[in-house]
Structure 1
Amino acid sequence: MADKELWISLQNLNLGLERSPLKISNDAKNRRDAEHRLSLVVQGLHPSQNPAGIKVMMPKIWKLEGRVTSRINDDGSVQFFFKHEHQLLTVLDNGPWTYKDWLVVVDRWTRRNYPDFLRIIRFWVKILNLPDDSKSDSVIREVGGVLGHVDEVHIQQPSADQVGEVRVHVPIDVYDRLLFARYFNLDDSRPPVLIRFVYDKLWRFCSTCGGLNHLATHCNFQVQETEHLQLPPPIPVPVAHHMVDQPHTCWCRIPHQ
């Protein structure tokens, strides 16, 4: 037994390390890229989301059970292989996705060399309390811009039985803290307006710091005094009846220019 362990340990020698690196052929790389082109990488944000569970459950959640194959990578992420690109795109378009009530981050394997790979979740965020005269594309993009770059703006026009609604599509870094409210000076002649943000498909998160990978009971974040000072004194905002959620119809889509 001792001899076996000795020979196994000898395999850790650095023989050959001094030689120049070998380059993989373009043909081998092209074949690898073709095999991985239609694949998504999924990673959980919370310790309870074990890779084996993600591997089994995500195809069921996507309603693609039996139509995708998968494997667990060495880093704990799970890679899913699709037969058709439209299935992969549907998964991306219908996110964010959750497993065990916690968000998972989903990214294309082809983006593996980007610095934000497996760091971005794209949310639709409803903007509440924005005055009607400020519901313009330029103002909405600046208001939504405090969350991140605004990819798209959706404006739902009011009707006889439905109030208007404003949403923005924003990529959020999963390691940032979510922002849920902010005062804005929309007009120099008016007091600041408290704008609130409601994230679509957001489940569990930390109510203390806005983190996406823990609850408030496990939060070590301490609010700094400077963060309090960035907001003006609160202005009472009455709760209006028209703020109740309504079905999403009559959208006016304004793509990013």
Structure 2
Amino acid sequence: MSSALDKALLAMSLEEEEEEETPFDLPDLPQYSSCLNNSISLIGRILNPDCQKVPNLIREMPRKWQKFDRVRGIALSPERFQFMFKHEHDLLEVYEKGVHSFNDWTLAIERWVERPPPDYLNFINIWVRLRNIPVNHYTAKAIEALGDLVGHVVEVAFDPSRPRINDYERVLVRFDVSRPLYKTRVVNLPGGEKTTISYEYERIHKRCFHCQRLTHEQTVCPFKLRDLQKSSEQSNILNKGLKIKQDKILKESDPLFGVLEENQVGINPATGRPRIAKEVLDGMRQYLLTASGPEKIIREHRVKSSLADIGNDPIAQKAFLSLETLPVITTNIDKGKGHVFEFQNSTSAVLPASVPGYHSKLLQSAIQAGRNNNEFSTPEFFYSEGSVDSSYNNSRSFLDFSSVNSAIVGEAGTSRAADVFKPGRARRRPPKNKRQPFEGALNVNQFGYKKTDVKRKAEEEVKQGSKIKRKLNEAVPMEGLPKDL
């Protein structure tokens, strides 16, 4: 019985394996496609998985963008995410800000495309500041060439007709996130001198202090370990008297072998990008393979002469050999400007604790500054002595602008004012129908407010006739002789 059951299970498993090997065809119907919803979305990936987590990023970034009610995050994988926007203008506002970061580490974010290219999410656009540019080479082409040392220059912010108060120039580069962020590069000038160009990257927070990359911290840097191993291997090779052999790029079976030199192909060590694009090399190979005999020799000579003609023209090399787009020159020198973060040079502010009474003086000056601001600001509400609302929340405005109780908090004043405005204690006043109108209310005009002090007690005494105050120049009227005479 058991053997028959095992045979049946074995047969079922074989059938299931055959069914799994058959691929499933997804229907090409609108209800199976989300391209319409994805058209207003951003796709991104984290660069440092050790310090960045996608669930936390999805909860935090809408609040950071101040669009928490108009954007929705989706976790696509442990390293990739998507943000769906309700409106196109919100997406453009976020995307045009440039580099975004989470937990102080950079993110790679691009607009959604239906069929992404192979290098999708491997590049980010960064504004770079170039310092120490030679004064005799302050041109747009020279700035572009210096910016190419760190990445493909997309835009140059340079206007020679305007005065410049900053000691740097800015270029927008399309940066490969797998490459290091160089701080300085040594440049050989045409006259034989050398200069060092320094680079600062806007909106970039943290990076590895050893290899200057955005993908890890220094404590887990793989290049640091590799450099240590390589140094030990090189020391062993030098001790044994052996030479390091470098692999050639052009093999003998390659049609371009003997036509191009090794220094014309491969990766340019200055820029880190190919000297000749793969598409151009494939076209050259196809051009030589389709001929034979004398025609092949003629075509080889044409390839050599064409490379020699554009060898001294950097613009032609970039356009025809590297197949890179030429940068755009803009006169807006502050376009997309952001902060530069340098954690190594940051110093914490130290308070002068040795100065006696420093903190108390600082607090006192802040309070006085707040009082000065209140003196020149028009109050939102005005209250008189006969006001109905007597809650403590509005007592501060009454205290500052009343013509009766004008004592400032902390200064000497009447005991009645202190009792009235004491927190948590209600004022004892007669009912509304028994109150007398207050004649000393505020007189507010179009220019502000003005206090009019009226002495009610003096007026009542004048009406009763008990004491009459006369002016100095006023004569006493003749009332006749006394009755006793």
TM class by shorter chain equals 0.7 to 0.9
What's the counterpart of residue 251 of structure 1?
Answer: 332
CA distance in 1 between partners of 2:204 and 2:83 (Å): 23
How far is 1:163 from its partner? Answer: 3.2
CA distance in 2 between partners of 1:50 and 1:203 (Å): 17
What's the counterpart of residue 239 of structure 2?
Answer: none
RMSD of the TM alignment (CA)? 3.1
How far is 1:45 from its partner? Answer: 1.5
1:23-79 CA-partner distances (Å, limit 9, x unpaired): 5315356x4211111111222212221111100111111121111012111344221
CA distance in 2 between partners of 1:198 and 1:140 (Å): 14
Contact 1:153 1:253 in 2 (8 A): no
CA distance in 2 between partners of 1:147 and 1:69 (Å): 35
Q: Are positions 1:78 and 2:159 aligned together?
A: no
Of 16, 22, 33, 1:13 maps to 16
Q: State the one-letter code of the partner of 2:45.
A: Q
Q: Map 1:112-123 to 2 at 5 A.
A: 113-123=116-126
Contact 2:131 2:167 in 1 (8 A): no
Q: Are positions 1:215 and 2:296 aligned together?
A: no
Of 92, 106, 109, 2:109 maps to 106
How far is 1:109 from its partner? Answer: 2.2
Q: State the one-letter code of the partner of 1:121.
A: I
Q: Map 1:126-141 to 2 at 5 A.
A: 126-141=129-144
Q: State the one-letter code of the partner of 1:251.
A: N
Contact 2:126 2:202 in 1 (8 A): yes
Contact 1:156 1:166 in 2 (8 A): no
What's the counterpart of residue 43 of structure 2?
Answer: 41
* C-alpha distance 42-19 of structure 1, shift in aligned 2 (>3 A): closer
CA distance in 2 between partners of 1:11 and 1:251 (Å): 68
Contact 1:155 1:165 in 2 (8 A): no
* C-alpha distance 12-62 of structure 1, shift in aligned 2 (>3 A): farther
Of 195, 198, 204, 2:197 maps to 195
Of 10, 20, 25, 1:22 maps to 25
The SS at the match of 2:136 is: helix
Contact 1:96 1:123 in 2 (8 A): yes
Query: After alignment, is 107-116 or 172-181 more displaced?
Result: 107-116
Q: State the one-letter code of the partner of 1:77.
A: R
Of 166, 181, 185, 1:182 maps to 185
% same residue:
27
Q: What is the TM-score with the length of structure 2 in the denominator?
A: 0.42
CA distance in 2 between partners of 1:184 and 1:111 (Å): 42
Q: State the one-letter code of the partner of 2:25.
A: L
Q: State the one-letter code of the partner of 2:182.
A: L
Contact 1:152 1:253 in 2 (8 A): no
Contact 1:125 1:168 in 2 (8 A): yes
Contact 1:103 1:203 in 2 (8 A): yes
1:72-102 CA-partner distances (Å, limit 9, x unpaired): 1134422110112221122121121111111
CA distance in 1 between partners of 2:72 and 2:27 (Å): 26
* C-alpha distance 12-114 of structure 1, shift in aligned 2 (>3 A): farther
What's the counterpart of residue 171 of structure 1?
Answer: 174
Contact 2:129 2:201 in 1 (8 A): yes
The SS at the match of 2:56 is: helix
CA distance in 2 between partners of 1:11 and 1:32 (Å): 36
* C-alpha distance 44-112 of structure 1, shift in aligned 2 (>3 A): farther
Q: Are positions 1:91 and 2:89 aligned together?
A: no
Q: State the one-letter code of the partner of 1:82.
A: F
Query: After alignment, is 148-157 or 175-184 more displaced?
Result: 148-157
Q: What is the TM-score with the length of structure 1 in the denominator?
A: 0.75
CA distance in 1 between partners of 2:38 and 2:95 (Å): 16
The SS at the match of 2:63 is: helix
* C-alpha distance 49-156 of structure 1, shift in aligned 2 (>3 A): farther
* C-alpha distance 23-42 of structure 1, shift in aligned 2 (>3 A): closer
* C-alpha distance 203-19 of structure 1, shift in aligned 2 (>3 A): closer
How far is 1:218 from its partner? Answer: 2.2
Q: Which has the higher contact order (CA 8 A, sep 6+)?
A: 1
How far is 1:132 from its partner? Answer: 2.8
CA distance in 1 between partners of 2:217 and 2:21 (Å): 49
CA distance in 2 between partners of 1:163 and 1:133 (Å): 17
